[in-house]
Amino acid sequence: MLLKRVTKEVKNLFQSTRLNTSVQRQEEILHLKRRLEEFDIQFSNLAYRPSGVETQTLLEISKTVGQNNNLLNQLSLERELADQQLLANRVGISLKILEEHHKFIVTMAHIFGGPYPCLRE
């Protein structure tokens, strides 16, 4: 009897945690959506998925921007990536690729550098 009660309480605890995570994820998505609207980026603009190699490179660029307060602040203030040529050289890609995937990079930089722990997962 005690085992059943403890099992039920643990199950309820896990369901509550899962529900809280789901609610937090929804709130993060709404917050990110509003943030991206300032950059004229809609989630529908992000449907294109780059190739596997490009994705890794673009994620590296996004992390670089998101984890660098100066770059992220400049992105927020000027609504564009700071010194794109320097950034492209830093990670070894062409400026053209950087420009083509600007919206993806901006979005991921905000996820990596912003208050979005659920989305970062």
Q: What's the pLDDT score for residue 112? A: 92
Q: What length does the chain have?
A: 121
- One digit per residue, the tens of pLDDT, for the chain of length 121 reads 555 555 556 555 555 555 577 888 889 899 999 988 988 888 887 776 666 667 888 888 888 888 888 777 777 777 777 666 666 666 677 777 777 888 888 888 889 998 899 888 8
Q: Residues 112, 108, 39, CA angle at the centre, nearest 5°?
A: 115
Per the confidence metrics, is the pTM higher than 0.85? no
Distance CA 59, CA 72 (A): 15
Q: What's the pLDDT score for residue 30? A: 92
Q: What's the pLDDT score for residue 89? A: 66
Distance CA 10, CA 14 (A): 6
Distance CA 69, CA 80 (A): 14
